[in-house]
Amino acid sequence: MFDFGPFFDNFDEILNGFWGTVKLAAVSAVLSLLIGTVLASFRVAPVPLLRVLGTAYVNVVRNTPLTLVLLMCSLGLNDVLALTFSDNPGTTYYWWAVLGLSGYTGAFVCESLRAGINTVPLGQAEAARSIGLTFTQSLRIIILPQAFRAVIAPLGSVFIAMIKNTTVASAASYAEAAAAMKSLLDLPSFTSGALPLFIGVAIGFMILTLPTGFFFGWLHKRMAVAR
Amino acid sequence: MTDSEGGPDLTKDGPEDTVPAPASDAGRPLVVVEHVDKHFGELHVLKDINLTVNSGEVVVVIGPSGGGKSTLCRSINRLEPIDGGKILVDGKELPQEGKELAKLRADVGMVFQSFNLFAHKTILENVTLGPIKVRKQGKQESEKHAMELLDRVGIANQAHKYPAQLSGGQQQRAAIARSLAMRPKVMLFDEPTSALDPEMVNEVLDVMTGLAREGMTMIVVTHEMGFARRAAQKVVFMADGQIVEENTPDEFFTNARTDRAKDFLSKILTH
């Protein structure tokens, strides 16, 4: 039952799958941070239209299952509407997975960041305005840097969830670790060793997520703003 | 004084340009408040306020808590919007929110009760931020000016520390330097010593007295009667959202005209 043979026999494919996971997660992390920051800025902007846009986006995307978001991207936008990034299916599905996952995670980043903005004392914004900074300047130079520092640890949780959410991208035709695992399980020659395979892939995810958690925890302590 | 380097050195002649020299056109109306009204919901916090502050003048606003002093101070650079009337700074009416307002605010210094130094920036960065980002001044020039100002308020050796590492008095002096760095036409002080430990009050008041002597136009909301006597040309007594009495400090403290002011003074001066 605990025969790790098949797991190590197919180690290369699994490793390949994890490389797909890392590629997807790394680019999505950067992009979702950007999207989240823009959304959070919208949600606190003095312009009502921006606030409405930000709120609507977050509420729609955050309440839609990720599978649906990713299938919408791959099957809906890519296949049906033929909005492709490239003629190479691997490349186009990769970018749709990145966009879908970033757009989804961005909503959560936005909400974390908004919680962070609420921890910044009102006086900071008033002082920023009183020396003549515009709204955008005070957001960019005074408010957001402090908000980010306050939510580094919660953002770590968002990114851990995001790394695990990459597995959903296998449903959207993107080859990552879970897809590699599934294709191994589906092989007719695969008769035993399913449990070790699960354990191995789970450990693989922990190797990605545990350091992420530790890193964000460390960064949070290091960057904390003393008041 | 909690710090070994001592308080602000007021005997020292500051560099020429740290503070605008007493304007040659002293006496020209710089801040004009006309028929200003403001409500917080049901509460009528400012009732038909009229006040003129001339260039080079130091006006102290005193009165019981909840009388509208802070609101008036904050409305002069539109941290609080007003419901009626108008406020002119240097002849220009306060614009609505936006770039124009930001520009005007840059000319009006503000010192808060709770200092409000930017917590994630060093003292030096706090002081240079406005000149660099708003005035588009060079970094070197801004830092040089900032160090002169920090030296004037007696905390040059704290320049590279973060606000939380400083005492309250030092933070407030840094906040004054941050405002001065913008070379404001007028400075607003919203209870600048109310959040300070008693032993730090004087180091801040000394800086403010120095500024007053140099001809800075100042509007100061405070409970420090000593400062009002020493530095102010005019005392404005506010209660229940109204300006009850406008007087010279000497007259006000020895011979107030209104009963409301007499009552207030008797309560604070008897002990």
pLDDT at position B236, please? 95
The DSSP secondary structure of A156-194, one letter per residue, reads HHHHHHHHHHGGGGGGGT---HHHHHHHHHH-TT--S-H
Residue B180 maps to a domain: no
Interface contact A48, partner B, CB < 8 A: no
With pLDDT > 90 as the criterion, what percentage of chain B qualifies? 72
Q: Please provide the average confidence, as pLDDT, over all residues in chain A.
A: 90
pLDDT of residue B26 exceeding 70, the answer is: no
Classify A5-223 by CATH class: mainly alpha
Interface contact B36, partner A, CB < 8 A: no
Of A124, A133, A225, the CB nearest to B116: A124
Return the residue matching tokens 């990720």.
A66
Interface contact B186, partner A, CB < 8 A: no
Name the pLDDT band for A176 (thresholds 50, 70, 90): confident
Q: What is the mean pLDDT of residues A209-216?
A: 93
Distances (CA, A) of A12 to A177, A180, A187, A191, B60: 11, 10, 16, 19, 78
Of B108, B116, B129, the CB nearest to A126: B116
Question: What ipTM was predicted for this assembly?
Answer: 0.85
Residue B246 maps to a domain: yes
pLDDT at position B98, please? 77
Could A128 and B118 be called an inter-chain contact, meaning their C-beta atoms sit closer than 8 Å?
Answer: yes
Residue B153 maps to a domain: no
The DSSP 8-state label assigned to residue A140 in this structure reads: I
In chain A, residues with a C-beta closer than 8 Å to the C-beta of B79 are 126, 129-130
Task: Give the domain extent around B99.
Answer: 28-117+186-267
pLDDT at position B11, please? 44
pLDDT of residue A79 exceeding 90, the answer is: no
Of B99, B110, B164, the CB nearest to A130: B110
pTM score of the predicted model: 0.85
What number of residues does chain B have? Answer: 271
In chain B, residues with a C-beta closer than 8 Å to the C-beta of A127 are 110, 112, 116-118, 175, 178
Shortest distance, CA B136 to any CA of chain A (angstroms): 11
Number of domains into which chain B is organized: 1
Name the pLDDT band for B13 (thresholds 50, 70, 90): very low
Residue B9 maps to a domain: no
The neighbouring-strand residues paired with B238 are B243
Interface contact A47, partner B, CB < 8 A: no
Cα–Cα distance measured from residue B118 to residue B121, given in angstroms and rounded to the nearest whole number: 6
pLDDT of residue A82 exceeding 80, the answer is: no
Cα–Cα distance measured from residue B146 to residue B129, given in angstroms and rounded to the nearest whole number: 10
CATH number at residue B248: 3.40.50.300
Shortest distance, CA B105 to any CA of chain A (angstroms): 5
Q: What is the mean pLDDT of residues B119-127?
A: 96
pLDDT of residue B45 exceeding 50, the answer is: yes
pLDDT in tens, A119-134: 999 999 999 999 999 9
